[in-house]
Amino acid sequence: MIPTLEWLPNGVSFLDQTKLPLEETYVLATDYQQVATVIRDMIVRGAPAIGVSAAMGVALGVSQSKATTIPALNAEVATICETLAATRPTAVNLFWAIQRMRDKYDTLVAANTSITKIKAALIAEARHMYDEDIAACKAMGAHGASLLPMEGTVLTHCNAGALATCGYGTALGVIRAAVERGHKIDVYADETRPYLQGARLTAWELLHDNIPTTVLCDNMAGSLMRLGRVQAVIVGADRIAANGDTANKIGTYSVAVLAKEHNIPVYVAAPLSTIDLATLHGDEIPIEQRSATEVTHSQGKQITPDGADIENPAFDVTPAKYITAIITEHGVLRAPFEQSIRKMVEAATTKPELATA
């Protein structure tokens, strides 16, 4: 399993995804501010991994607090959570994880727990979330593998694999599970401009697993679909609205529209924590705007003329009508998504053992 992030006695270790595929190095964040920087600078990326990273950031910050009273610690916890929440706006897992850690803290305080025990409990909670993520990805793989062809080519956009999670992956986890069951699958990995998550990351980790992978320029997908060379599309998600509209890496919407035109199923694989019932539809999802230099420069070299305006949204929204199914750790959701999503979320909240589609 690829060690995307890891809790260590002296901090949180992150595989530096900005250096892949040519260099496999690790960054050690020794305080919560450094964890925030790691998230903001995309050293770690992918909605599930961002969420667990934020949880570990909260645990790290609280564990290092010098506060001797709960009121003083309350103020520090608020600052820690605000700092981590300000890193990236689109992936709802970030806010979900911070809120979960905050809820755990509030429960401990209400129970008159000592500061020493609060610190230990928050570390345990963050580490438990890490284990939960791996289990959720494997469950997604089990639920989704049968949706993929027994033999054929699957196209994916961006990276929704082990590198975007704590291990195994969401969309790539489904592919891995299918291959483990004996499916003969080749993968087309869109390069995913401008950050090249597909070319750099998806190809790297799939080749690690000996899964045949071909990197495509982002504008090639439609032509290959017309030729019958794509049998399914599977992607991850950074936020899923209550109606099924899904935010994922920029370019996903174009792929989904092309797939619809060519009668190719589009699957979204994401944990239940990626679903945001408070966001009613895709127009309400905040879209992160990133630095123009990601577009104007490649490998440190300027590739666009001075004076050209740059658009660099990190995500786009795919309307639910283009999505065939959403694969979660609790089962597969299908249209009408407003109903199936709410039913599953409610079941997972009240009776987790019954939360299956």
47 and 132 share a domain? yes
Task: Give the predicted TM-score (pTM) of the model.
Answer: 0.93
**Confidence tier at 164 by pLDDT (50, 70, 90):** very high
179 and 257 share a domain? yes
**Confidence tier at 352 by pLDDT (50, 70, 90):** low
CATH number at residue 57: 1.20.120.420
CA pseudo-torsion sign 166, 171, 174, 178: negative
123 and 218 share a domain? no
The percent of residues above 70 in pLDDT, for the chain, comes to 98
Q: What is the pLDDT of residues 301-323, one digit of tens each?
A: 999 999 999 999 999 999 999 99
238 is catalytic: yes
349 and 262 share a domain? yes
Domain span at residue 246 reads: 144-354
163 and 284 share a domain? yes
Q: What is the pLDDT of residue 77?
A: 98
Whether residue 2 is predicted with pLDDT greater than 80 in this model: the reply is no
Q: What is the mean pLDDT of residues 244-259?
A: 98
Query: Strands 5-8 and 213-216: what pairing?
Result: unpaired
Whether residue 267 is predicted with pLDDT greater than 60 in this model: the reply is yes
Q: What is the mean pLDDT of residues 125-134?
A: 97
CATH number at residue 148: 3.40.50.10470
Boundary-marking domain end, from 138, 153, 182: 138
**Contact residues for 309 (Cβ-Cβ < 8 A; gap 6+):** none
Report the alpha-carbon distance of residue 38 to residue 25 in Å, rounded. 13
209 and 334 share a domain? yes
CA pseudo-torsion sign 39, 44, 50, 53: negative
Q: What is the pLDDT of residue 354?
A: 43
**Confidence tier at 300 by pLDDT (50, 70, 90):** confident
Q: What is the pLDDT of residue 351?
A: 59
234 and 106 share a domain? no
Boundary-marking domain end, from 111, 138, 165: 138
Boundary-marking domain end, from 104, 138, 172: 138
Write down the mean pLDDT value for the chain: 96
158 and 179 share a domain? yes
Three-class DSSP category at 146: helix
- Marked catalytic residue, from 218, 238, 276, 316: 238
Q: What is the pLDDT of residue 153?
A: 98
149 and 225 share a domain? yes
Q: What is the pLDDT of residue 350?
A: 76
Spell 291-307 as b/e; 16+ CB within 10 A means b.
eeebbbeeeeeeeeeee
What is the domain count for the chain?
2
54 and 164 share a domain? no
